[in-house]
Chain A
Amino acid sequence: MKFFKKKIRESSILYQRSRGEKVLFGIVFALFFLYAASLIFPLLWLFINSLQDRTIYEVNLALGKAFEFPSALHWDNYAYAFTQLSYNDANIFMMFFNSIWYTIVYTLGGVLMSAFTGYALAKYRFKLRGFMYGVIIFTMTIPTVGTTGALFNLVYNVLHIYDSPVYVILKHLCGTGLNFLVLYGFFRNVSWSYAEAAFMDGAGHARVFFSIMLPQALPAIVTLSIVSGIAAWNDYMDVLMYLPSFPTIASGMYGVSRTLPRQGYSTVYFAALVISMLPILIIFTCFSNVIMKNFAVGGLKG
């Protein structure tokens, strides 16, 4: 039945093409294919070279030999990465551990706070609502530059949370930004009738929010959580600046990128990069459909 419906949709006039359009779509397909190949090939190159003998790779590099398949698969590069690689006294397992808690706090804080602000501003009319919405949009759309110095000063000299996980918690309890826009738009479109019925039955505001409204927003929340989680997992700049003693897998890879290739351990570095990518690639493979379907941003007018 689903297949049949799909066939009907595909036969819509929207997807029927004239001869000229067929040529255009053919050219675009070729360009898309080349671009897709340009994204896939380097990753394959990385994986293949992560299995190369490290001496052969360095010799090839010196000889200007661009690429050579490994004659034997050197999984020992991975073993070395797991056992010997370290940055700021953290081995790769510690980096993973740091990445995991950093990602959870970063994601949970940002998405939950945005759900709070998005829900409150979309569904309640209170005195400061217009002002708060205006402030959020204003702060998102004016180009403030150079506040890094003041932020560093705040974290280091005022709050004394430099190089502390407390920094991650406080910084990411943030209810503004893209997360807010998506959830605000979502809650605006959610029907209020279930909530009304629940209020009639004596439910409180918190119960309505957590038991009725939040579950309805789950697709948007899951999407934002995955996108935020990916950003957190790959964030190296913030960790380098504010959490030097807690290297994550991203900041750790930045650290070893300065040393390993110069010491002739490029293949181990490649193996470490592959290891660092794997968790996020697996998560993306599982949830790519969710991300593609639920990412919607509306206008800025409240």
Chain B
Amino acid sequence: MQAEWKDALENAVQGASPQAEENAPIQSVLSTAPEPVHPHNDLAKRKKSAMKRRETIFLICILALPVLNWLIFWLYVNLSSFVLAFQDNAGDWSLINFTLFWDQLTSPYGDTIGMAILNTLKYFAVNLLLIFPLTLVMSYFIYKRLAGYRAFRVIFFLPAIISGIVLVSVYSNMISPSGPIGAMLKAMGVKMPEGGYLLDPDTATPAILLYCVWTGFTTNMIIISSAMSRIPVEVLESARLDGCSAFKELIFLILPMIWSSVSTLVIFLLTGIFNASGPILLFHPDGGYNTMTLSFWIYQQVYGGGTYGGTGNYGLVSCAGLIFTCIGVPFILFVRHLIEKIPAVEY
């Protein structure tokens, strides 16, 4: 009897170390077992503590590097960015960066930051209000096995695997006045700026926005259609038998059932609000033709025109980052709170 009990306890100890959900019954054996008074209890305790020690060592080994990476490349960088915002280029404490930021924001001559903010919000709006909903709808038709859906799924993923340099090069050539699309538009009588859409301050940003739409339905489409494919078919079949239309099926059945994946993607999208941008460097390395965005402005401030070792101007960028982070964090946390309030359907 005693031996059986000891075996059960040892098994429980060995199984309980990594406490996954599946271990619940074993854990309950451990927790409800009466405290033994026998000297063998010491052995079991020693085994348990040795097991726990091995588990701790294993966890330290596998988590040490990623934790260290996070401490250096996230925590230190963010704290350092905060400090740099309050320092001048010589490293002395100063509010000069805030003054410079305000001057650049309000100056009638240097509207770089103002334009960068405006353009960034345009990219963000296009991502959130056009590309993402379209991705959802396209994923639905892929999931519903539209004719040729396998080929479409692969072809639509191409912009994710082909380098931005290739895509920008072909896109620029296509829509230039001497390119195939440019020539076709001219033949159709569409009025085009003399140097082409990309070389006109009024049309350059819309042209890059169009590029972003053109190349925008990639990874999210795979993630969403993959989430759709995990929905139990019986639910949708019974809805179809009740005469549910395609629109209702998508909005009232599929969307709630893939909400955990969709909400995650929406939160990521919102998190990127101030980093939203097209590949400005590839279109206009100087941010000309009113194409400046915040992330490109930050890149330019740090890296300049390609100087080895960068420009050394970290303060203004950090100051701008601090201001936008202060604006963005409460907004994102609030929206995230709202999104998480919408219950995801468990199945």
Q: Are A and B bound to each other?
A: yes
A residues contacting B by CB (< 8 A) are: 10, 12-16, 21, 24-25, 28-29, 32-33, 35-36, 38-43, 45-46, 60-61, 64-67, 113-114, 116-117, 119-120, 122-126, 132, 135, 139-154, 156, 159, 162-163, 170-171, 173-176, 181, 191-193, 195-196, 199-200, 204-206, 209, 227, 230, 233-234, 236-237, 240-241, 244, 250, 253-254, 257-258, 269-270, 273, 276-277, 280-281, 284, 288, 291-301
B223 CB-CB contact with A under 8 Å: yes
Cα A268 to Cα B281 with chains together (Å): 22
Can you name 15 extra interface pairs (CB under 8 A) apart from A146-B81, A150-B314, A159-B72? A41-B180, A66-B180, A119-B62, A124-B20, A132-B67, A141-B336, A142-B328, A147-B78, A152-B310, A199-B17, A234-B163, A254-B282, A281-B162, A292-B153, A296-B230
Q: B182 contacts which chain A residues (CB < 8 A)? A: 66
In the complex, which of the residues B155, B173, B261, B299 contacts A148, with contact meaning CB atoms closer than 8 Å?
Answer: B299
**Interchain nearest-CB distance for B309 vs A (Å):** 6
A241 — nearest CB in chain B belongs to which residue?
A: B303
Whether the Cβ atoms of B265 and A150 lie closer than 8 Å is: no
Whether the Cβ atoms of A64 and B141 lie closer than 8 Å is: no
**Interchain nearest-CB distance for A290 vs B (Å):** 11
Q: B148 contacts which chain A residues (CB < 8 A)? A: 29, 32-33
Main SS class of interface, A: helix
Q: A240 contacts which chain B residues (CB < 8 A)? A: 303, 306
| Interface-located stretch among B33-41, B198-206, B235-243 | B235-243
In the complex, which of the residues B26, B263, B333 contacts A299, with contact meaning CB atoms closer than 8 Å?
Answer: B263
Q: B261 contacts which chain A residues (CB < 8 A)? A: 296-299
Chain B 208-234 near chain A by CB (<8 Å), digits 1 or 0: 000000100001001100110010010
B290 CB-CB contact with A under 8 Å: no
Residues from 295 to 335 in B contacting A, C-beta threshold 8 Å: 295, 298-299, 301-303, 306, 308-310, 313-322, 324-325, 328-329, 332-333
State the interface size on chain B (CB cutoff 8 A). 130
A65 — nearest CB in chain B belongs to which residue?
A: B178
23 contacts between A and B (CB under 8 A): A33-B148, A39-B155, A40-B158, A42-B173, A46-B169, A60-B178, A66-B184, A114-B66, A120-B59, A123-B20, A135-B70, A146-B319, A148-B317, A152-B303, A154-B80, A163-B308, A173-B69, A196-B26, A206-B58, A233-B163, A241-B303, A250-B163, A294-B226
Known: A66-B180, A154-B76, A170-B69. A124 touches B155 (CB 8 A): no
Cα A89 to Cα B268 with chains together (Å): 39
Known: A142-B271, A205-B18. A14 touches B72 (CB 8 A): no
In the complex, which of the residues A113, A143, A150 contacts B329, with contact meaning CB atoms closer than 8 Å?
Answer: A143
Known: A149-B298, A227-B219, A300-B264. A273 touches B321 (CB 8 A): no
Cα A140 to Cα B66 with chains together (Å): 15
Cα A113 to Cα B145 with chains together (Å): 36
Known: A145-B321, A196-B23. A116 touches B62 (CB 8 A): yes
Whether the Cβ atoms of A292 and B141 lie closer than 8 Å is: no
Whether the Cβ atoms of B328 and A143 lie closer than 8 Å is: yes
**Interchain nearest-CB distance for A241 vs B (Å):** 5
B63 CB-CB contact with A under 8 Å: yes
Known: A205-B18, A254-B282. A143 touches B273 (CB 8 A): yes
In the complex, which of the residues A12, A35, A148, A192 contacts B302, with contact meaning CB atoms closer than 8 Å?
Answer: A148
B149 — nearest CB in chain A belongs to which residue?
A: A32
B118 CB-CB contact with A under 8 Å: no
A280 — nearest CB in chain B belongs to which residue?
A: B161
Q: A28 contacts which chain B residues (CB < 8 A)? A: 141, 146
Chain B 137-158 near chain A by CB (<8 Å), digits 1 or 0: 0100100111110011111111
Q: A141 contacts which chain B residues (CB < 8 A)? A: 267-268, 271, 332, 336
B125 CB-CB contact with A under 8 Å: no
Whether the Cβ atoms of B66 and A173 lie closer than 8 Å is: yes
**Interchain nearest-CB distance for A56 vs B (Å):** 14
B61 CB-CB contact with A under 8 Å: yes
Whether the Cβ atoms of A277 and B162 lie closer than 8 Å is: yes
A121 — nearest CB in chain B belongs to which residue?
A: B63
Q: B309 contacts which chain A residues (CB < 8 A)? A: 156, 162
Q: B166 contacts which chain A residues (CB < 8 A)? A: 46, 253, 273, 276-277
A28 — nearest CB in chain B belongs to which residue?
A: B141
Q: B303 contacts which chain A residues (CB < 8 A)? A: 152, 240-241
Whether the Cβ atoms of A24 and B246 lie closer than 8 Å is: yes
**Interchain nearest-CB distance for B49 vs A (Å):** 15
A202 — nearest CB in chain B belongs to which residue?
A: B14
Please name the 10 residue pairs, one residue from A and one from B, whose CB atoms are nearest each other, closest first. Answer: A146-B321, A175-B66, A149-B314, A299-B260, A150-B81, A205-B58, A66-B183, A42-B170, A149-B317, A143-B328
In the complex, which of the residues B157, B165, B179 contacts A250, with contact meaning CB atoms closer than 8 Å?
Answer: B165
Q: A200 contacts which chain B residues (CB < 8 A)? A: 11, 14-15
B30 CB-CB contact with A under 8 Å: no
Whether the Cβ atoms of B226 and A113 lie closer than 8 Å is: no
